[in-house]
Chains A and B, each alone.
Chain A
C-alpha cells in the first residue's frame, strides 16, 4: 500500500464510525410525507393519526426487539396502560392533553421498569410467555375494574381540553393529526439519539452476543431493563395519544392481538433499523384498510399472505428489499 493510501485508510475507518450518527437527507423523507395529507386527504385524517400513533408504538418496539433483541408479545400492555391512564384522567375532569400524556408515560414506564426487572431474568421462550402473561393479566384487570375503565363497554365520557389551550380537538381530526405528528417527531429525535449513543450501540452488542457482553464487563440486565422501561414509556405515550385523539378507550388497546399486530407491522417494515416502523405501519394499515373494503369477508387472508411472502422472500422486511435493490444497482455500475 502506498504511504498516502495508508494515511487515508488510517483516518477513514475511525471517521466513518464517529460520523455515523449524522443525519442523511433521506431520513427527513417521513417528515416531508407527513405534511401533504393534512390538505390532500382531509377525510382520512383519523386514519392518518392512527397510523402516526402506531408508528410511534412500533418505534418503541424496535428499541427492544430490533436493538436489544428482546422478543415480546406483551408490548401492548404498555400501550394499553398509557391509553387507560390518559383516558381515565380525561373522563374524570382532567382533559389537558400534554400532562395527560406525561401521566400515561409515567404509569407505563414505571410498570415497564418493575416488570422488566422481574421478567428479564428469563430468556427465550420463558421470557416470551411472561410478556404474554403480563398483557393478558392487565387486560383481565381492566375488564374486571369496570367502575374505573368501563370494562367491556369501553371507557366513555372522555373530554379533551384544547391543545395548549388553543386548538380544539375537532370532528375531522385535524388537531389530532398535527398533535400525533408533533409527538412522533419529538419521539423520533429522542429515539434516534438513543440509538446512536454509546448506550444504544451497546444494545446491539447485547442483541448480537450476550455471552461476549458479559465477558467485556457489561451490566447486561441493567441495560436491558433500562431500554425496556424507555420503550414502555414511548408505548404509553402512543396509547395515551390514541385515547386522546379518538376520545375513547376499549379493551382492545391492551390485547395479545395488538401486541402481535405491531410485531408484524415492524417485521414487515424491517427490524432494528429505526425506519422499519415508518415503512411497515403505513404499508400494513393502508393495505388492511383497502383489503377490508375489497374483500370484506376474507381480507385477513390477504394480510396473512402478504406476511408469509415477506417472511419467506424478504428477510429484513420492505427496507431489506430496498437495500438489496440498491446493492444490485451499485454493483452493476462499472
Chain B
C-alpha cells in the first residue's frame, strides 16, 4: 500500500463526557478527491480542527505523508503542507485582497519574519500572489479591501489563501457555504481545476457538489465513521439514507 497523503488512526476527542470524535480511522490517498459528509453536529468541523491542530485529540495519531504530526502545532503542520479553508470566512477584512494573499505567500516563502528590509524588496512574493488572483479570476478586485468585495468573491480569497501555501493536502470546509446558487459554480470550477498533486478533503452539505467533485465519500455520524465508499455505493446505501438523507419513510 502506498503512503497516504494524510492518515488518521484511532482518533478520539472528548469534551468531558461529550464524545465528538470516536475512534476515527481515515485515509486520504495522494491526489484524492474525497468528501466528508454527515448531518449537522456529526463532528465534521471538529475533525478538521483535529487534523489542523486547532484541537488536540484525546488519543490517536495523525500522519501527514507518513510522518506523525499529532504533537505538532498548527504552524508546523502548515509548513509541512497541510492547508485549510474555513466554513465561515477567516480573512483580513481591513486589508486588500492582494495583501491578504501576499501575507500567505510571504509566510510560505519564509520572508515574513524579515524586519529590516521593506516588503517591496520581495517583489516576487507579491507577483506570485497576484498570479494566484488571476488564476482564480479575482485579480480585478486586487486592491479592494476584502470587506468591500462581494461574499462569493470572498470565498475565493479564502481558497486563494490556502492555495498560497502550496499545500500537499487541502482541507476545504464547505467552500460554497453561504454563496448564492448562481455563484457557487465559479467556486466549484476553481475547486475542480485544482492540481491533481493536491490531495483534497472537502467537507460539504450540498450533495450536488459532493457527487460532482468526490471520487470517494466518508460519512460521519455522531463523531464516528459510519461508512466509506464510492459515491455510487454511498448513494445506494440503506444505512446512509436512513441516518443522513432522512428518507426512511418516503424514499
Contact = CB atoms under 8 A, between A and B. Distances in A.
Interface of A: 9-10, 13-14, 16-21, 193-194, 196-202, 204-205, 208-209, 211-212, 214-220, 223, 226
B69 interface: no
B45 to A, nearest CB: 13
A202 B112 contact: yes
Contacts of A193: 115-116, 118
A17 B118 contact: no
B99 A17 contact: yes
Interface residues of B, number: 48
A197 B115 CA distance: 5
Interface in B113-155: 113-120, 122-123, 125-127, 130, 139-140, 142-143
B123 A197 contact: no
B93 A209 contact: yes
Given A13-B139, A211-B90, A214-B75, 6 more contacts: A13-B98, A18-B119, A19-B120, A20-B119, A198-B111, A215-B52
B223 interface: no
Residue of A194, A196, A199, A226 contacting most chain B CB atoms (<10 Å):
A199
A18 B126 contact: yes
A196 B139 contact: no
A194 B93 CA distance: 22
Contacts of A209: 90-93
Contacts of B52: 215
B95 A198 contact: no
Contacts of A220: 75
A14 B127 contact: yes
Contacts of B103: 201-202, 205, 216
B161 interface: yes
Given A13-B130, A202-B112, A217 B75 contact: yes
Contacts of A208: 91-95
Contacts, number: 128
B226 to A, nearest CB: 28
Contacts of A19: 120
Nearest to B164: A216
B43 interface: no
Given A205-B92, A212-B92, A198 B119 contact: yes
A9 B92 contact: no
Contacts of A200: 115, 119
A197 B116 contact: yes
Contacts of B130: 10, 13-14
B104 interface: yes
B54 interface: yes
Given A14-B126, A215-B52, A216-B164, A201 B106 contact: yes
B52 to A, nearest CB: 7
Contacts of A17: 96, 98-99, 102, 119-120, 126
